[in-house]
Structure 1
Amino acid sequence: MFLILIAIGWLYVALLMAVAEATSPIGTVLGAIITFLLYGVGPVALLLYILGTPARKKLRRQREAEEQATWQLAQDAQPGSAQPDTGGQSAADAVAPVRKEP
């Protein structure tokens, strides 16, 4: 919340700088727009992006954990999804031995 107040205050100061630039006898409207973008919007956007990184990482990890849990529930719900040979019996020969005809 405190960060939002700082961002709003900084944008207000940058807006006043842009208005002063536009109303100055040697200033231009284009200079005011550039002033507002380079002194106001650019730094605030960069600051909010950098300081919002931990929240984005936390949200991504939470989403991945939910997807993993959903996938695991779907795998457990399928009847044939169990691992083979979990019955406790030893495995028999899968291929019959080849014999020569007499």
Structure 2
Amino acid sequence: MYLIVIAWTYVTLMMAVAEATSPQGTVLGALITFALYGLLPMSILVYILGTPSRKRKIKAREAAEQAAYDAEQAAIVQQQAPDAGSAEPDAGREAATAAEGSAVTPVRKEP
């Protein structure tokens, strides 16, 4: 991409020099030629071709921010309840209760 930009800038610079040194040309015309034929189209091209790179940088920055936030939240949770992270089952102190039957009988619509 940058090779295209450099080459086109060189071409438009030579166009501007040719216009400035010609008998009918002016320096103002050379500046306008360089700006309108060189700088303006190349700035648009660089902006369009640089869009994927900008998107990748934004996604990488958001991922880094999310990872930092997640690490911060994990540290806060660890400080608040240091033993809450253990996933050990109940050591048999009490028996697990079974699901009881429903005490309320279902109500049907009258036909």
TM-score, normalization by structure 1: 0.74
How far apart are the structure 1 equivalents of 2:74 and 2:59?
Answer: 22
How far apart are the structure 2 equivalents of 1:47 and 1:27?
Answer: 28
How does 1:1-102 map onto structure 2 within 5 Å? 3-78=1-76, 79-80=79-80
Which SS does the other structure have where 2:25 is aligned?
A: coil
Greater share of residues in helix: 1
Can you list the C-alpha shifts for 1:22-71, whole angstroms capped at 9, x where unaligned? Answer: 01111110110010011011111110110000000011001001000000
Show structure 1 runs of 5+ residues with no match: 82-102
Q: Number of aligned residue pairs: give it.
A: 80
How far apart are the structure 1 equivalents of 2:52 and 2:5?
Answer: 18
Pairwise CA distance, 1:80: 3.0
Structure 1's consecutive aligned runs of 4 or more residues displaced over 4 angstroms after TM superposition are none
Can you list the C-alpha shifts for 1:80-99, whole angstroms capped at 9, x where unaligned? Answer: 38xxxxxxxxxxxxxxxxxx
- Counterpart code for 1:80: Q
Which SS does the other structure have where 2:23 is aligned?
A: coil
Larger radius of gyration: 2
Identity of aligned residues (%): 58
CA-atom RMSD in angstroms: 1.5
Show structure 2 runs of 5+ residues with no match: 82-111
